[in-house]
């Protein structure tokens, strides 16, 4: 942890704020480029939902990644950061008409479509504009990602994708639509997946589906396997860059691509998560019954993951060098769930100390709210301080 944070500079900044290690982000992106260099048909998109901060998006775009968007707002954010429109894919179970039109106007690469009514709507809007929409069908492969039930998406009980039993009827319907061109299949089984066997299971399922499509004389141009690679929340300094080599090699070993087929990835958390920390100041130490509370000035409005998914984040006191003690670390919001960690071992902590809530680069700043009429957290960057 030593040296990770410019503490002298932090002392002049109003807390709470996000701090992004832009060198680590660049190293992470270089690792992805290195690990995919031997596979010219692999295309990595960044899942904008993880963090749509313009500075972060710009660094990712400079490194050649595409953008995976799930709303019109994300398409606008990606375009503003300079992502080329032909590297933008648009997913999401409920696309509004204006968002679909924005996709046409911006000439995005492809719509990932999740249902027959959505296909019909895109077809109708495309015909009004005299366009043909390139679509990938998002298929729910019914694969268990072995992750938190709120962030699993590839089981048939989830709202996402077209279930395998409906695939044939969707394909039958699709060929009747004049303004739709099927270019791909899209999958995403969940997030924070650390067991590579889940991705292997996805590959095997895709092979079966491709075989089935082949029987129907369908070969699509692209396969999109979504995102989901997990990171080490427990020990971020041990694994600041996720194991992209193992991740990409699972697909290389197990996925049978047809000749000339392109393979797309949509990684979010694994790219940006370890680069961000939420920095917060200790307001008070409160004596409870049999425990001590550290009350900080950041709350669930700044980082909602612990309250929303009972997510674990490593918390460190970055200004105290004293022997550790145990505390519950809580925020100031009027909700009992506004707790960042229970029985957390921190260097003995006092009012005014700074804490870093680690691995907060993904699904942190972007999920911030103004509940309790609070200000949104600001962001600072290692290469600008």
What values do phi and psi take at 249, rounded to 5?
Answer: -70, -25
Q: Which is nearer to ligand PLP, 267 or 333 (CB)?
A: 267
Determine, following the binding rule CB under 6 A, whether residue 267 of this chain makes contact with ligand PLP.
Answer: yes
Contacts of 300 by beta carbon, 8 Å cutoff, 6+ apart:
306, 307, 308, 331, 333, 335, 337, 338, 371
Q: Which is nearer to ligand PLP, 229 or 298 (CB)?
A: 229
Report the alpha-carbon distance of residue 137 to residue 111 in Å, rounded. Answer: 8
102-116 burial string, b = 16+ CB within 10 Å, else e? Answer: bbbebebbbbbbbbe
**Least distance (Å) from ligand PLP to the CB of residue 336?**
27
Strands in 187-273 per DSSP E: 222-224, 262-267
Q: Which of 83, 81, 66, 76 is nearest to 29 (CA)?
A: 66
Report the alpha-carbon distance of residue 345 to residue 326 in Å, rounded. Answer: 5
Instruction: Work out which of 35, 74, 99, 266 binds ligand PLP, going by CB under 6 A.
Output: 266
Determine, following the binding rule CB under 6 A, whether residue 28 of this chain makes contact with ligand PLP.
Answer: no
Q: Which is nearer to ligand PLP, 153 or 360 (CB)?
A: 153
The site map against ligand PLP for 273-302 (x = CB under 6 A) is: ------------------------------
Q: Which is nearer to ligand PLP, 123 or 153 (CB)?
A: 153
343-346 long-range CB contacts below 8 Å, 24 or more apart? 343/291, 344/294, 344/315, 346/294, 346/315, 346/316, 346/317, 346/320
**Least distance (Å) from ligand PLP to the CB of residue 47?**
3
**Which residues ranging from 338 to 377 are in contact with ligand PLP (CB under 6 A)?**
362
Residues in the chain: 385
Q: Which of 288, 275, 270, 292 is nearest to 346 (CA)?
A: 292
Report the alpha-carbon distance of residue 10 to residue 103 in Å, rounded. Answer: 41
Report DSSP state, residue 229.
B
Q: Which is nearer to ligand PLP, 242 or 331 (CB)?
A: 242
Q: Which is nearer to ligand PLP, 95 or 188 (CB)?
A: 188
**Least distance (Å) from ligand PLP to the CB of residue 7?**
30
Determine, following the binding rule CB under 6 A, whether residue 191 of this chain makes contact with ligand PLP.
Answer: yes
Q: Which is nearer to ligand PLP, 138 or 281 (CB)?
A: 138
Among 53-61, 102-110, 227-235, 285-293, the segment contacting ligand PLP (CB under 6 A):
227-235
Count of positions on this chain that bind ligand PLP (CB under 6 A): 18
Determine, following the binding rule CB under 6 A, whether residue 269 of this chain makes contact with ligand PLP.
Answer: yes
CA angle 245, 359, 74 (to 5 degrees): 85
**Which residues ranging from 43 to 102 are in contact with ligand PLP (CB under 6 A)?**
47, 49-50, 68, 91
Residues that bind ligand PLP (CB under 6 A): 47, 49-50, 68, 91, 153, 188, 191, 226-229, 266-270, 362
């Amino acid at each position: 942890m030593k040296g990770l944070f410019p503490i002298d500079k932090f002392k002049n900044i109003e807390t709470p704020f996000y701090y992004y290690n832009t060198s680590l982000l660049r190293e992470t992106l270089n690792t992805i480029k290195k690990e995919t260099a031997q596979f010219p048909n692999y295309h990595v998109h960044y899942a904008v939902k993880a963090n749509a901060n313009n500075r972060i998006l710009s660094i990712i775009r400079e490194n050649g990644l595409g953008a995976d968007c799930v709303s019109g707002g994300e398409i606008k954010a990606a375009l503003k950061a300079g992502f080329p429109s032909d590297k933008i894919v648009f997913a999401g179970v409920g696309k509004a008409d204006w968002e679909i039109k924005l996709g046409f106007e911006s000439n995005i690469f492809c719509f990932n479509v999740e249902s027959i009514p959505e296909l019909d709507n895109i077809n109708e809007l495309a015909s009004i504009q005299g366009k043909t929409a390139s679509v990938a069908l998002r298929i729910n492969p019914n694969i268990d990602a072995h992750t938190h039930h709120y962030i699993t998406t590839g089981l048939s009980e989830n709202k996402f994708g077209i279930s395998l039993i409906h695939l044939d009827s969707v394909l039958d319907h699709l060929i009747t639509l004049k303004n739709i061109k099927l270019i791909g299949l899209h999958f995403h089984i969940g997030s924070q997946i650390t067991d590579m066997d889940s991705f292997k299971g996805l590959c095997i399922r895709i092979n079966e589906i491709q075989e089935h499509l082949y029987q129907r004389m369908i070969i699509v141009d692209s396969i999109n396997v979504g995102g989901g690679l997990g990171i080490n929340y427990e020990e971020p300094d041990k694994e600041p860059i996720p194991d992209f080599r193992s991740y990409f090699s699972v697909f290389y070993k197990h996925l049978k691509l047809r000749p000339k087929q392109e393979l797309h990835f949509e990684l979010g958390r694994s790219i940006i998560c370890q680069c961000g920390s939420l920095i917060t100041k200790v307001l008070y130490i409160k004596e409870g019954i049999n425990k001590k509370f550290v009350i900080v000035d950041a709350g669930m409005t700044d980082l909602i993951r612990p309250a929303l998914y009972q997510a674990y984040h490593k918390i460190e006191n970055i200004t105290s060098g004293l022997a550790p003690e145990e505390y519950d670390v809580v925020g100031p919001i009027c909700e009992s769930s506004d707790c960042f960690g229970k029985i957390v071992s921190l260097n003995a902590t006092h009012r005014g100390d700074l804490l870093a809530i680690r691995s907060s680069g993904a699904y942190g700043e972007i999920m911030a709210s103004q509940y309790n009429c609070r200000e949104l957290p600001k962001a600072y960057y290692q290469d600008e301080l």
